[in-house]
């Protein structure tokens, strides 16, 4: 057993880049919503000093076309598929979970409880998880926002509500201004901040949650190298996901897997997973 590497939801399309997805241990879909969504108007992405902002706005086919068109094509690529689920109320999330329940080609359902680019459901994360738990036996991971003031408390609540694992973290809300006009560069002004700047935030969230609950944690946020991945594992992650780095380096999964092994070996560990929790001492 070694560390699994996944992609962050929304950071890879396995249908247009099958060769990138093939390097991963499982493919995480872009967040699926009940209805098709056109997403936000462009400009949707901007680079900042130590990261990037995105305001994609959950562009996607909706659950019907996902089940009839996307999922069979992903299955034909022999990928282990994690489906990221989003919505605007707990019944949206639960409804999609119920639709996915009939499918045996879905490995994990990841509940995106934290997209900064769309309006949030009025219910708490735990209420959404509980509503989904009633409708599915699938493994449920809760993806939480790093903007949460007490993420350990959220982690306890979603696990008590039936989450089998956590994905930490989603993006932070941010904004960039055009230096000349001082107007927002993104059409929607706000976007989700990802990339290197997020790494310390992700490390803190993973450690806080690893202390609070005993479930598997997918760590992501700013991972660029095997060293970054090893640090997330030391903080308590057992799976690591790659987001923004895939945009610059589509060969990152293979590279980071190799680097991770070397970094662990250099510190006297036989397997990177032996590092899990070392930071929590």
Partner 1 sequence: MTGSGPVAGATAEVVEVTGTGPIGPYTLLRVAAGGIEPGIPGQFFMLHPPGHVLPRPMSLCRVDGGELCFLIDAIGPGTRTLCALKAGERLHVLGPLGNGFDLDVPHPLIVGGGIGIAPFPYVAQVLGGGPAILGFRSAHHAEAAALLPGAEVALDPVLVTSLLPAEPMDVLACGPEPMLEAVRARAPQAQLAWEAPMACGYGACYGCVVEVDGRLQRLCVAGPVLRAA
Ligand X SMILES: Cc1cc2nc3c(=O)[nH]c(=O)nc-3n(C[C@H](O)[C@H](O)[C@H](O)COP(=O)(O)OP(=O)(O)OC[C@H]3O[C@@H](n4cnc5c(N)ncnc54)[C@H](O)[C@@H]3O)c2cc1C
Ligand Y SMILES: Cc1cc2nc3c(=O)[nH]c(=O)nc-3n(C[C@H](O)[C@H](O)[C@H](O)COP(=O)(O)O)c2cc1C
Site residues (CB under 8 A) for partner 1?
10-13, 16-20, 22-23, 30, 38-39, 42-48, 50-52, 54, 56, 59, 195-196, 244, 246-251, 254
Closest CB 221 distance from partner 1, rounded Å: 13
Q: Which residue is nearest to ligand Y (CB)?
A: 10
d(Cα 218, Cα 140) in Å, to the nearest integer? 12
Q: Compare residues 192 and 236 and give the one whose CB is closer to ligand Y.
A: 192
9 binds, among ligand Y, partner 1, ligand X, none (CB under 5 to 8 A by kind): ligand Y
Q: Compare residues 247 and 269 and give the one whose CB is closer to partner 1.
A: 247
Q: Compare residues 37 and 185 and give the one whose CB is closer to ligand X.
A: 185
**223 near 240, Cβ under 8 Å?**
yes
13 binds, among ligand X, ligand Y, partner 1, none (CB under 5 to 8 A by kind): partner 1
Closest CB 179 distance from partner 1, rounded Å: 9
Q: Compare residues 49 and 102 and give the one whose CB is closer to ligand X.
A: 49
12 binds, among partner 1, ligand X, ligand Y, none (CB under 5 to 8 A by kind): partner 1
Binding residues for ligand X restricted to 170-189, rule: CB under 6 A: 178, 185
Which residue is associated with the tokens 């305001």? 55
Question: Looking at the chain, how many residues does it have?
Answer: 281
Closest CB 242 distance from ligand X, rounded Å: 23
Q: Compare residues 39 and 269 and give the one whose CB is closer to ligand Y.
A: 39
Binding residues for ligand Y restricted to 198-227, rule: CB under 6 A: 198, 220-223
Q: What is the 3-state secondary structure (H, E, C) of the chain?
A: CCCEEEECCCCCCCCCCHHHHCCCCEEECCCECCCCECCCCCCCEEEECCEEEECCCCCECHHHHHHHHHHHHHHHCCCCEEEEECCCCHHHHHHHHHHHHCCCCCCEEEEECCCCCCCCCCCCHHHHHHHHHHHCCCEEEEECCCCCCCHHHHHHHHHHCCCCEEEECCCEEEECECCCCCCECCCCCEEEEECHHHHHHHHHHHHHHHHHCCCCEEECCCCCCHHHHHHHHHHCCCEEEECCHHHHCCCHHHHHHHHHHHHHHHCCCCCHHHHCCCCCC
**198 near 171, Cβ under 8 Å?**
yes
219 binds, among partner 1, ligand X, ligand Y, none (CB under 5 to 8 A by kind): none
209 catalytically annotated: no
Assess 195 for contact with ligand Y (CB under 6 A). yes
What would the x/- binding string for ligand Y be over residues 127 to 146, using CB under 6 A?
Answer: ----------------x---
Q: What residues make contact with ligand X under the rule CB under 6 A?
A: 178, 185
Positions marked catalytic:
115
């Amino acid at each position: 057993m070694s560390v699994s590497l996944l992609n962050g939801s929304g950071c890879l399309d396995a249908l247009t880049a099958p060769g990138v997805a093939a390097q991963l241990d499982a493919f995480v879909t872009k967040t699926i919503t009940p209805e098709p969504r056109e997403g936000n108007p462009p400009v949707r992405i901007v680079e900042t000093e130590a990261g990037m902002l995105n305001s994609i706005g959950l562009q996607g086919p909706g659950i019907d076309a996902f089940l009839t068109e996307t999922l069979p094509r992903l299955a034909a690529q022999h990928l282990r598929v994690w489906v990221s689920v989003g919505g605007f109320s707990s019944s949206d999330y639960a409804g999609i979970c119920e639709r996915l329940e009939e499918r045996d080609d879905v490995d994990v359902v990841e509940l995106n409880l934290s997209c900064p680019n769309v309006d949030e459901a009025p219910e708490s994360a735990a209420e959404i998880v509980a509503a989904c738990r009633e409708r599915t036996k699938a493994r449920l991971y809760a993806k939480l926002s790093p903007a949460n003031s007490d993420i350990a408390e959220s982690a306890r609540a979603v696990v008590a509500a039936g989450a089998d694992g956590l994905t930490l973290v989603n993006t932070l809300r941010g904004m960039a201004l055009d230096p000349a006009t001082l107007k927002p560069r993104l059409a929607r002004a706000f976007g989700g901040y990802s990339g290197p700047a997020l790494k310390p935030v992700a490390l803190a969230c993973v450690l806080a949650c690893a202390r609070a609950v005993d479930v598997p944690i997918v760590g992501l946020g700013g991972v660029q190298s095997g060293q970054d991945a090893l640090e997330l594992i030391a903080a308590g992650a057992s799976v690591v996901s790659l987001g923004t780095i895939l945009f610059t380096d589509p060969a990152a999964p293979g590279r980071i897997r190799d680097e991770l092994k070397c970094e662990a070996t250099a510190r006297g560990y036989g397997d990177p997973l032996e590092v899990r929790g070392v930071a929590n001492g």
